[in-house]
Structure 1
């Protein structure tokens, strides 16, 4: 991707459809005059008076307990330096977004135009009553140290400068595990820290608290080793000044056990790595370019344990593993501060989590066969859903035990359940699928690449490493459009009607005719059909010229589905192809079947559709719990439709007893576990969170998913075709660019799965 296009896309992302990345959303009803009277005047007076009596009531009647301020003066924005308060706002909004999606914490970003420490501190203190916690961000050292120190002393809510402590906590967890794997004693190891900013100082302090001997740490800055005989050292640098007779980074590296890089790219050479002790631990955390390239480092030494700040290599030291969950735990016990005990609790919880058996959902998300504790897995992955269930409780317990919690938790089992429920949002599913696709991108045919939105989706898929696009359509039109959108990648472009494709088209025609000659298709017709892009694309996948295809943008669904079913055919054991839609709801991912294929399926068909839906959901790393829907509940109606649905449940219970499914049941009971348990405690879905809905016919399924999509602005991924022998996926007529990209991710993951089965 060209720099100019990266710039334009970044600006467009932040500007459209409306400026910024976060917004305020009401949490109470506001539809009637009564609602408004309770929300504001006169009803609002009552909670105000209660808070006036006892300020602790502010947590009971307002959002303070789940509200964090992300505050910066823009003096040390990552990679950009001192760009000012207003210019730092996009970064602070981004931090707010991460707080919300990883730990369900609401954020107001506050940009303070003040470089003076006193002025900054006074400003933050003045607005602190609004918030349950304060995350300081991108403030330059040494002012950052003093600002955090004073605010922690003078405020009674959690305050943390994530630039200092986030990297320290994550890397300390990684270091603890790396030392265990390398069989090294933390008290004996020699550590070289390259960098002397806020993060480096905080990391070094936390490593000492973890057990590293202070005299075994050598810290370097841009001038070389920070020695005691150097003049004009800050108090922080004096803290780590050494008397050891070394002056350069190269000298310091000799015989060292650990290298911690918090500086800039490509400052460490292979020779320096070779000079380290046996089983060296190298954390090259400069971003986006590490102090030494990951591949170069592991090629230099087989015994190295390596971590970086990058997501495309093992052992990513990513602050998102820490700050959302640390604040979550602190807020949930109304801690007055984030102290050393809480930070150390997060270190140990992260380190311990990496040693536990990794859930299959995480393996699937990262396209791993079996992630397990070792050199390439010393810290958990950012998309590990267990993080919110493990880190906040550890932090909360440490807050209670160290005496800074004002509302201790007593029911820890219930607390864990509440934490798990906080991350119900289905958008995380799409992030995990995208990440999984990137681990092993496949060749995807874009059958309508001369449509601008399709071409844009192909461009994104290429640039993000999701897929290897193959573009079908008029070559001249595609090339002109590629120039217009700066899509300058070297990708394959095919025009099925072009003379240059005569040989391949003839090959496809012969294969197609051989399959269809006894079904009324002549050889001449077979040749004609191979000039049509959907037929040509399907044959490309059939003949393994491509791994998957995506089509349907410019034509109605039935006309596109026909050649897919006809040419690609059904998978072994599949009697009827079906489709499901993944709805990314606020309660989590929810699958709707069958939304596009079978108009009025029989009971036998419904049972097959349910089984295919269950298998598809497992491909996504989910544990399926399906409800077979009707307008009646467990025999309350004797209508033909209700009996059909009930019979379908009987059939699947007999043929596939392992499938978690029940019905017939109404949609509200299916989605409300309390209602289900209260009225139908005998159901197999009691105490289960239903994440798949099987509809009695296409009409009800199609109407339902489109109503949800439009009325509730829920993202829908699909329809996802189930039951084809090869990965072929059909998007909706006029789908958006994002919807097409989502379907490409599905196609790639589908191809990955089918290749595993084939192998």
Structure 2
């Protein structure tokens, strides 16, 4: 781990600090080009945009520019480290946007004394951008921030920790259930973790036909007798007299962990139904390690959030391509229909033969749809070809 730490620090510091930079997309080498790039030539697009704001998409980079914004209150699994300490993560998102979808990013770290001031800051800077990607903002105030920004802005607003996780998890689960001979409509699904990722994923699965979903947080099952359930989670509350994770795990077909390291007691795996699906997505350390889970159950399909285990549920499979489709279609919002389109496109891609380029990128001899491959790899070049157009089509169909 110390070696990895030193490698990471060196990577971020040299040959120059940080991971992103601004490059000019137009030549500015001569006096003539200077007069076009700035005065007097720049006045022409200014007046065109003044007469019709939509011309900003024609004469500026607004339509290919996303703001990655945080307040630093929930950075990775490190907690409330503050806005400035969150900057390496926001720069990293910028790298992924550019590398996978050709989208430019400004990372914005906001020290906001209140939720209201954070929202007003984002609203005030929004004319610069074609989309807003909210990142690493703690629950429950992330729910209010996203809701109000979606209502006030005419560009897509997306909280990746909620909906990016939901899309990828749903795609992986659709494939895992098929391999296990089960269906979303009849599967008993138990979540450990009822924050941003857990509630958004549960809501998307419910929209897609899941009927038996239970969320468990630090205080137990989200049941109708509890008085501490936030407004955003009330539609996911169950009317039950079973109050603990241990109560809910017998006969469960699916466990989805979005909580903390080692939070799933190994003995509870024994209580699950035959051919279970276990997604232990806490990062960097999952709720249960794959080696432990497989030693207890040889009939399960396992996924984590880590790249060193099979079936990584990685948000990089979603947000670049979801935004690419939304920007290309000039979407005003990112809807559940767009998220479902992305999830289905991802699930379908994993069932197709894997090109040699992907095998080479991961130093693999073979990779095919099955228990150790239920979701595409981030370096699969087909992601841009499949996911972004599926999202854009959903926009056109008002899905």
Shift of 1:364: 3.0
Structure 1 residue 299 displacement after superposition: 2.1
Structure 1 position 392 matched with structure 2 position 388: yes
Q: 1:313 to 1:7 in 2, by over 3 A?
A: closer
Aligned to 2:168: 170
Q: Which residue of the other structure, out of 88, 92, 100, is the alignment partner of 1:102?
A: 100
Query: Counterparts in 2 of 1:698-717, with a 5 A limit?
Result: none
Distance 1:113 1:47 in 2: 33
Tell me how far apart the structure 2 counterparts of residues 140 and 115 of structure 1 sit (CA, whole Å). 15
Q: Which has the larger radius of gyration?
A: 1
Q: Which residue of the other structure, out of 335, 344, 349, is the alignment partner of 1:348? A: 344
Q: Tell me how far 1:252 sits from its aligned partner.
A: 1.2
List structure 1 segments (4+ residues) > 6 angstroms apart after TM superposition: none
1:21 aligns with 2:19: yes
Task: Give the Cα separation in 2 of the matches to 1:291 and 1:387.
Answer: 29
**Native 8 Å contact 1:58 1:64 kept in 2:** yes
Q: Distance in 1 between matches of 2:86 and 2:263?
A: 28
Q: What is the CA distance between 1:26 and its match in structure 2?
A: 0.5
Is the 1:283–1:306 contact (alpha carbons within 8 Å) kept by the matching residues of 2? yes
CA distance in 2, matches of 1:398, 1:12: 42
Q: Gaps (5+ residues) in structure 1?
A: 404-759
- Superposed displacement of residue 7, structure 1: 4.2
Alignment of 1:453-492 (within 5 A): none
CA contact (8 A) 2:150 2:157 kept: yes
Correspondence for 1:192: 190
Q: How many residues align?
A: 399
Partner Cα separation in structure 1 for residue 217 and residue 301 of structure 2: 24
- Distance change in 2, residues 1:356/1:27 (3 Å): same
Contact 1:226-1:240 at 8 Å conserved across structures: yes
The answer as to whether partners of 1:75 and 1:115 remain within 8 angstroms in 2 is no
2: CA distance, partners of 1:315 / 1:62:
39
Question: Is the contact between residue 73 and residue 115 of structure 1 (CA under 8 Å) also seen in structure 2?
Answer: no
> Equivalent residue for 1:211?
209
Query: Deviations for 1:513-565, whole angstroms, at most 9, x for unmatched residues?
Result: xxxxxxxxxxxxxxxxxxxxxxxxxxxxxxxxxxxxxxxxxxxxxxxxxxxxx
Residue 92 in structure 1 maps to residue 90 in structure 2: yes
Unaligned runs of 5+ in 2: none
Distance in 1 (CA, whole Å) between partners of 2:379 and 2:297 is 29
**Could you tell me which residue of structure 2 aligns to residue 712 of structure 1?**
none
The superposition leaves residues 426-455 of structure 1 with CA deviations (integer Å, 9 ceiling, x where unpaired) of: xxxxxxxxxxxxxxxxxxxxxxxxxxxxxx
**Corresponding residue for residue 379 of structure 1:** 375
1:367 & 1:24 partners in 2: Cα distance?
A: 33
Q: Describe the SS at the equivalent of 1:135.
A: strand
Task: Give the deviation of 1:115 after TM superposition.
Answer: 4.8
Q: Give 1:45 shift.
A: 0.5
Helix, strand or coil at the partner of 1:174: helix
For residues 20 and 235 of structure 1, what CA distance do their matches in structure 2 show? 39
The residue matched to 1:245 in structure 2 has which SS? Answer: coil
SS at match of 1:172: helix
2:363 is aligned with 1:367: yes
* 2:213 corresponds to 1:235: no
Task: Give 1:6 shift.
Answer: 4.5
3-state DSSP class of the match of 2:353? coil
Distance 1:366 1:17, change over 3 A: closer
Counterpart residue number, 1:179: 177
C-alpha root-mean-square deviation of aligned residues, in Å? 1.4
Distance 1:144 1:235 in 2: 13
Asked whether the equivalents of residues 192 and 260 of structure 1 are also in contact (C-alpha less than 8 Å), the reply is yes
Instruction: Provide the TM-score with structure 2 as the length reference.
Output: 0.97
SS of equivalent residue, structure 1 residue 175? helix
**Could you state the TM-score of these two structures normalised by the residue count of structure 1?**
0.52
